[in-house]
Amino acid sequence: MKVKLVGADSEIVLNDLPVMIGRNHAADICLDDVDTGEFQCFIEQNDGRPSVVDIAGGLGTFVNGHRIKRAALMPGDTLGVGRRNFTIRYDLRR
């Protein structure tokens, strides 16, 4: 499954899951944002669909404006990490 994170000025294609998102350069997706944890969250495939898991605790990861610990991601959902918001895009038919 090819998942895309579409931001205001970027589009990130996730070819292989899981992917780690964070401020640390060792993260798969490195965000230059002081409000993002070193290792903030990861996106994995769960039952054939992507889901996000928060691992930073205090900083929070958000889906559609709601703070989550773990959440399924549907096309059109908004993923909030630090000061960044991404729209989730993927094909449900696959």
Question: Which CATH number fits the domain that encloses residue 15?
Answer: 2.60.200.20
Q: How far is CA 83 from CA 31, 61, 86, in A?
A: 10, 10, 10
DSSP percent split of the chain into helix, strand, coil, nearest 5: 0, 50, 50
d(CA 70, CA 78): 14
DSSP state of 8: S
How many separate domains does the chain show? 1
Residue 23, in any domain of the structure: yes
In a domain? residue 19 = yes
Please indicate, yes or no, if residue 94 is contained in any of the structural domains.
no
Q: What is the pLDDT of residue 93?
A: 73
Rounded to an integer, the average pLDDT of 10-35 is: 95
Domain that holds residue 40: 3-89
Q: Please tell me the predicted confidence (pLDDT) of residue 47.
A: 87
Using pLDDT thresholds of 50, 70 and 90, give the confidence band for residue 59. confident
pTM comes to 0.93
Q: What are phi and psi of 91, to 5 degrees?
A: -90, 120
Residue 84 CB neighbours (<10 A)? 19
Q: Is residue 77 part of a domain?
A: yes
With a cut of 80, say whether residue 5 has pLDDT above it: yes
- Domain assignment present for 41: yes
